[in-house]
Amino acid sequence: MKEEMQVAINAQIQKEFYSSYLYLAMSAYCEKENLPGFAKWLKVQYQEEIEHAMKFLNHLLERGGTVKLGAIAEPPCEFGSPKALFEEVLKHEKFITASINKLYETAIAEKDYPVQVLLQWFISEQVEEESSACAIIEKLKMVGEKGAPLMYIDKELSYRK
């Protein structure tokens, strides 16, 4: 596996682990704000991000590459209202989508076909990630962010497996 491809994948592993760290911080914040359903949804998201990082890590290993883990930055600990928090989720996912797309361009330039196949899963996943964050923002806009309607959304999010 070419060096440039390995560097790019290692950088993506770092971003996926940062995503997990960010969502864990968001989950803890929601727990503290008495929004257990939001906290649960974000905790599932945290676990999914670790799976994303591991998909890249395992791919590197399967191809005889070198895993070089970078430092994970400290995420914030305050996120404002649920809508503000989910706007941050969406912004972060758009950043990840751009990063995945860039990785795909590198895989094309390097003629790395296995990475292109791996990335097709991630490209579809990013469509889903952005769409679910958007859907939650839209619901929060519709109901406002207080009282019984907020509790209803909190309950709904608690069902995420």
Instruction: Give backbone dihedrals phi and psi of 96, rounded to 5 degrees, phi first.
Output: -65, -40
Q: How far is the CB of 59 from ligand FEO (least distance, A)?
A: 14
Q: What are phi and psi of 65, to 5 degrees?
A: -80, 175
SS (H, E, C) 63-93: CCCCCCCCCCCCCCCCCCCHHHHHHHHHHHH
Q: Least distance to ligand FEO from the beta carbon of 71, Å?
A: 18
Q: Which is nearer to ligand FEO, 15 or 150 (CB)?
A: 15
Nearer to ligand FEO, 92 or 150 (CB): 92
Distance in Å, CB of 149 to ligand FEO, minimum:
27
Chain positions contacting ligand FEO, by CB under 6 A: 16, 19, 49, 52, 93, 96, 129
Report how far residue 78's alpha carbon sits from residue 69's, in angstroms, rounded to the nearest whole number.
27
**Residue with smaller CB distance to ligand FEO, 44 or 143:** 44
CB of 147 to ligand FEO, least distance (A): 30
